[in-house]
Structure 1
Amino acid sequence: METTILEKQMRRWPLYGGGLALLQAGLLAGCDRTPEVPAPLPTTNAVSPAAATPAPQSPERLILAFGDSLYAGYGLDRGQSLPDALQNRLRKDGVNATIINAGVSGDTSAAGRQRFAFALDNMKRKPDLIMLGLGGNDVLRQISPTETRANMTAMMDEAKRRGIPVMLTGMMAPPNLGPDFAVQFNGIWPDLATRYNATLYPFILDGVIGKAQLMQADHVHPNRNGVDRIAARVAPVIMTTLKNTE
């Protein structure tokens, strides 16, 4: 059988060679928390102003970064999260972007679904783009891909109803969960991108997972250098997406 691009990518990303072992060992305490009630947006409604470079004098592009600990900045200092790094890069490249960080550590796709509409309702205006990054905690808990797909689909439906473009930052299952699980789980993001005509960045940890110098001690969350590496890859995709939605 012909090897798919996805399978080739999975072999390049050892996620998780020990991802399941880490879960069993209880080293993911920072990820393994699901809020009981929808979490409000940060009171600043934006990433840390201390980290942000002055915005260019052009119309503001408002982006909602809605995800889990990989957006929230787990284990990092204030101003070092992925939304912070992306906002700074976009502004340096002349894009007057304000990114609202609505990442919550521990969120599964189900928890995100519960607070998705609430987050959008509490923004100062309809965003120009939603970055949607959930699924990591689902795979760590081995939640059924069918459930993950249903939750992600519900959020995509809500964004479509509101007329807001979405950029999906995907997640991938570790090979040690088996080929059946991987096929069902990994297919969620490209399928949704096609169905909803959304932008897809296939794997949020591409280029950093498995590289100790770019990861925190838990081997799951990127450190500051890892965040910068991800931002350098994701920012151009955001810029293209924003141009296509003008």
Structure 2
Amino acid sequence: MKWLAAALGCAVFGMLPLAQTAVAQGAPASHRVVVLGDSLSAGYGLAQGAGWVALLDRRLKERKPDYSVANASISGDTTAGGRSRLPAVLAREKPSVVILELGGNDALRGLSLASSEANMKAMIEASQAAGAKVLLVGMRIPPNYGPDYSERFFAMFGKLAQQYKLPLVPFLLEGVAQRPDWFQEDRIHPIAAAQPTMLDNVWPKLEPLLKARVGR
């Protein structure tokens, strides 16, 4: 898991504003899915349209054309950063679903898990207050700060999912972390070939949150 420490750690530098909005073509979508994440969702180092969030937008066009995606992910973001900018995202996008993929950079900085959890709770509650369903996406980290810290970090996502009765993707990089050849030359960020697996990790938890298309 040493590469994973580098992967998420590298996401801290630069704070690159990579957030983009993908809008469905043709008939206007009536529902919005917002992805609030870090570099793993912002598509760091990938060609435009190659990241898992862009692939999600394509899948929605095929299977749920009344939905579109707003990618509000920024490389290097933390739960504090996500919490501070979420109100503006909610006001702008008015989402039906919010996918929260944050926390890895907190843990790799050794930040207080209590603070990270408080930030996650605030984002969950703000999303729900805005009328959105929430999907949590978890992350694993190596035991740089000791196994107790890393295990409590991983358990935080399950704890929040249970408390708020939310669907949970335990580990976004499941099936990817085991494939060194699925990473860019920096051995940090997943390549395009890994993105469908990342989407497939999210989709089974997301699909039940999407309303059936009218007439189906």
TM over 0.5: yes
Equivalent pairs: percent with the same residue?
A: 33
**Deviation above 3 Å: which 4+ runs of structure 1?**
17-20, 27-31, 39-42, 57-60
Distance across 2 between alignment mates of 1:41 and 1:140:
22
Distance across 2 between alignment mates of 1:66 and 1:185:
19
Partner of 1:181: 149
Distance across 2 between alignment mates of 1:98 and 1:221:
25
State the one-letter code of the partner of 1:223: I
Distance across 2 between alignment mates of 1:65 and 1:94:
17
Q: Secondary structure at the match of 1:132?
A: strand
**Residue pair 1:133, 1:168 contacting (<8 A) in 2 also:** yes
Distance across 1 between alignment mates of 2:14 and 2:34:
22
Distance across 2 between alignment mates of 1:122 and 1:58:
16
Distance across 1 between alignment mates of 2:132 and 2:48:
28
Distance across 1 between alignment mates of 2:39 and 2:127:
21
- How much has 1:70 moved relative to structure 2? 1.0
Q: Structure 1, residues 37-60: CA drift from partner, whole Å, max 9, x if none?
A: xx7964xxx32x6xx6x56x7963
Aligned 1:47-126 pairs, distance under 5 A: 47=22, 60-123=30-93, 126=94
Partner of 2:136: 168
Greater alpha carbon shift after TM alignment, 73-82 vs 175-184: 175-184
* Ranges in structure 2 where 5+ consecutive residues have no aligned partner: none
Q: 1:70 to 1:153 in 2, by over 3 A?
A: same
- How much has 1:165 moved relative to structure 2? 0.7
Partner of 1:233: 201
Report which of the two structures shows the higher radius of gyration computed on alpha carbons: 1
Number of residues of Structure 1 aligned to a counterpart in Structure 2: 213
**TM-score of the superposed pair, with normalisation by structure 2:** 0.86
Q: Secondary structure at the match of 2:100?
A: strand
Q: Secondary structure at the match of 1:103?
A: coil
- How much has 1:178 moved relative to structure 2? 2.0
**TM-score of the superposed pair, with normalisation by structure 1:** 0.76
**Residue pair 1:72, 1:105 contacting (<8 A) in 2 also:** yes
